[in-house]
Structure 1
């Protein structure tokens, strides 16, 4: 991990963030610079349970609406 981030201080920061519950270090961007691969890493937290239910509800409503449109177009 310290190799990817380049500096030991940055690696320690990443380790501390990962220890907190629900945190991840997703790769934001990868690019080449002077024959080396640079990786930008961000800190992310997962969705709350409420947000997950909200998104699921939106998906179900959209799916039902698409079914109705498809059924209407068949007739």
Structure 2
């Protein structure tokens, strides 16, 4: 299996990503830990909690926790 990611950054806006598995574009869920964009204090932790609630596996939850702990 080959997974490819196309990341596009708009310098005045948000980034977009497209994911392909074996050349076929697939739907995906993106989790982002960005203290500046997610606010500070309670807003940052609320973003973390929302991401953890959406995660579909223990592996993804562990990765989210690691990203937010950084």
Question: TM-score band (shorter)?
Answer: under 0.3
- Rg larger for: 1
Q: Normalising by the residue count of structure 1, what TM-score does the alignment of the two structures yield?
A: 0.26
- Tell me which protein shows more helix as a share of its residues: 1
Q: Normalising by the residue count of structure 2, what TM-score does the alignment of the two structures yield?
A: 0.28
